[in-house]
C-alpha cells in the first residue's frame, strides 16, 4: 500500500484536495503535461523500446498500459513470456523504470527475454480518462481497489493476452497491486487459469497489524468517510507541479531537508538501511500519482477491523441492499488457485509480517513464502532498495524462469 511522503508534506503545506465543489489543485498546480511521453522518454533514454497502449474497462475507465518489448531478438510468438507488473497505492508505472537498469525489475525482465507490460490503475496520473465521466465529477472518483480488481485487472489481462497471442501471463504486484489481484482471483476465479505465477511484493490483504503513521491516520479516514455525502468522492494527492517542485528542491541529495523526506517514508513504511540517497528525489518525482479518497477509506476499514478482508462497508442498511447482509462478506481467498509466491520484509510497517502470515494461511496454492532475512526491508525497499536485486529480484526471476 504505497503511501508516499507527500501525505505529510501536503498536510504541512495546507492540505488541498481536488474535489467536486471544493477547491481544485489541478487549477492552481497542474499535473505534468503528458505522463505517457515522460515514461517513453525515460525508457528510451535507458536503451529500451517502448509502446503505449490504452485499455478500456467494462465500466468505462481508459487505462494507459506501458509496454517494454523483450530485447531478445530470438523470442517469437510461440515462446514469448509475458508479464504484467502493477504498482501500489499512489504509485504508477513510473515506479518500475526510474531505478537504474541493473535495479529495475522491468528492465531486468526485459533482459531475460520477457515481454513486459506496466499497468496504471484508474485515477493515477496516466489513467485519468473515461468514456463518459468528467475527471472533475464526483462519479469519476467513486471507486476503490475493489473496482480495480473487478474491472481494471481483467481488462488489462485480456487485452495483453489477446495482443500477444498467449493463454497465460506472469503477474507481479506490489502492495495494492496484490490487493486487487486477490479481489479478482477470488471473485472471478476463472482468471486463475490465465496466471502462470503471481509474485507478490509486500502483499497487502489483512491490515490489522499495520503500525507507524498510517495506524492513527486510519482512524481519521474512517471517521470522515461520510464526507462524500456532501462533496462526492474526490481525488487525493495528484502528481502536480507543486509536488514535483517540492521533491526536486527539498528531497534531493545535498539538501539538509532530504533527511526529513526520508524520515517521513520511514515512519510510514518502516525504517531502512537500504536508502539510495543519491537518487531519492528521482524515485519520488512521479509520486504521488493520485488516488480516490475511497481507496484510503477502504484500507482504513481493514485496519480498524483486524482479521477481515472485505469489500467496502457502506453501513448496515446500504450493506443489506448491496450485499444482502449487515456487513460485507469476506473475500473468498480459498478460490485463488493461481500459484503464488509471497515476498515480505521484516521491517514493513504496511505489509506487516503478522498480516502476511494470515494471508499465507488463507491462500491454498502458495508456492513459497519468501521472507527477506539478510536485512530488515521496509515497504518501499521492494522497489527502491540499493540491493533489492540481490535480496528479491534475483530470486523472483529465477522462479519465473523455472516455469515453462
Q: What is the predicted pLDDT for the residue at 205?
A: 98
Digit-coded pLDDT (tens) for 240-268: 888 788 878 888 888 888 888 888 888 88
For residue 125, pLDDT beyond 90: yes
Which whole number is the average pLDDT over 87-113?
Answer: 95
For residue 333, pLDDT beyond 70: yes
Q: What is the predicted pLDDT for the residue at 243?
A: 79
Closest CA to 314 of 233, 232, 205, 225: 225
| DSSP string for residues in 231-277 | H-S-EES--BHHHHHHHHHHSSTT-TTHHHHHHHHHHHH---S---G
Digit-coded pLDDT (tens) for 205-238: 999 999 988 788 787 776 777 777 677 778 888 8
Digit-coded pLDDT (tens) for 355-398: 999 999 999 999 999 999 988 899 999 999 999 999 999 999 99
User: Which is more confidently placed, 401 or 285?
Assistant: 401
User: Which is more confidently placed, 401 or 73?
Assistant: 401
Catalytic residue of the set 175, 186, 218, 272: 175
| pTM exceeds 0.85, yes or no | yes
Catalytic residue list contains 163: no
Q: What is the predicted pLDDT for the residue at 143?
A: 97
Q: Which residues contact 156 (CB under 8 A, 6 or more apart)?
A: 55, 63, 65, 84, 117, 119
Grid coordinates of 138: 464526483
Dist. CA 8–CA 232, nearest whole Å: 23
Q: How far apart are the first and last CA of the chain?
A: 31
CATH number of 6-401: 3.40.50.1820
Grid coordinates of 9: 508534506
The DSSP call for residue 117 is E
For residue 33, pLDDT beyond 70: no
Closest CA to 175 of 330, 378, 403, 393: 378
For residue 77, pLDDT beyond 80: no
Catalytic residue list contains 31: no
Q: What Cα–Cα distance (Å) separates residue 358 from each residue in 86, 286, 342?
A: 22, 33, 12
Catalytic residue of the set 4, 130, 146, 379: 379
Closest CA to 283 of 293, 292, 274: 274
Amino acid at each position: 500500500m504505497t503511501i508516499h511522503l507527500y501525505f505529510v508534506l501536503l498536510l504541512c503545506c495546507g492540505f488541498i484536495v481536488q474535489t467536486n465543489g471544493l477547491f481544485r489543485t489541478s487549477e492552481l498546480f497542474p499535473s505534468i503535461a503528458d505522463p505517457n511521453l515522460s515514461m517513453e522518454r525515460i525508457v528510451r533514454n535507458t536503451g529500451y523500446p517502448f509502446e503505449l497502449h490504452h485499455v478500456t474497462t467494462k465500466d468505462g475507465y481508459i487505462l494507459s498500459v506501458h509496454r517494454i518489448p523483450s530485447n531478445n531478438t530470438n523470442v517469437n510468438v510461440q515462446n514469448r513470456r509475458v508479464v504484467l507488473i502493477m504498482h501500489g497505492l499512489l504509485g504508477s508505472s513510473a515506479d518500475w523504470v526510474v531505478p537504474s537498469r541493473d535495479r529495475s525489475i522491468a528492465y531486468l525482465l526485459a533482459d531475460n527475454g520477457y515481454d513486459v507490460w506496466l499497468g496504471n490503475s484508474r485515477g493515477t496520473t496516466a489513467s485519468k480518462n473515461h468514456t463518459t465521466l468528467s475527471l472533475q465529477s464526483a462519479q469519476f472518483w467513486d471507486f476503490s481497489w475493489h473496482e480495480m480488481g473487478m474491472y481494471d485487472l481483467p481488462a488489462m489481462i485480456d487485452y495483453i493476452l489477446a495482443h500477444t497471442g498467449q493463454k497465460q501471463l506472469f503477474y507481479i504486484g506490489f502492495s495494492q497491486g496484490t490487493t486487487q489481484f486477490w479481489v479478482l482471483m477470488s471473485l472471478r476465479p476463472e482468471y486463475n487459469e490465465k496466471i502462470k505465477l503471481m509474485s507478490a511484493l509486500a502483499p497487502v490483504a489483512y491490515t490489522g497489524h499495520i503500525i507507524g503513521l498510517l495506524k492513527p491516520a486510519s482512524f481519521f479516514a474512517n471517521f470522515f468517510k461520510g464526507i462524500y455525502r456532501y462533496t462526492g468522492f474526490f481525488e487525493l494527492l495528484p502528481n502536480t507541479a507543486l509536488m514535483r517542485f517540492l521533491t526536486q528542491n527539498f528531497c534531493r541529495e545535498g539538501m539538509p531537508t532530504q533527511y526529513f523526506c526520508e524520515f517521513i517514508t520511514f515512519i510510514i513504511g518502516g525504517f531502512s538501511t537500504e536508502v539510495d540517497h543519491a537518487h531519492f528525489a528521482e524515485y519520488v518525482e512521479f509520486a504521488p500519482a493520485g488516488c480516490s479518497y475511497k481507496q484510503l477509506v477502504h484500507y482504513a476499514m481493514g485496519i480498524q477491523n483486524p482479521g477481515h478482508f472485505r469489500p467496502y462497508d457502506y453501513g448496515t442498511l446500504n450493506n443489506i441492499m448491496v450485499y444482502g447482509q449487515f456487513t460485507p462478506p469476506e473475500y473468498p481467498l480459498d478460490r485463488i488457485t493461481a500459484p503464488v509466491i509471497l515476498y515480505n520484509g521484516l521491517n514493513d510497517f504496511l505489509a506487516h509480517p503478522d498480516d502476511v502470515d494470515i494471508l499465507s494461511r488463507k491462500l491454498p496454492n502458495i508456492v513459497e513464502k519468501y521472507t527477506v532475512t539478510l536485512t530488515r526491508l521496509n515497504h518501499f525497499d521492494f522497489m527502491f532498495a540499493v540491493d533489492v536485486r540481490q535480496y528479491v529480484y534475483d530470486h523472483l526471476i529465477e522462479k519465473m524462469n523455472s516455469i515453462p
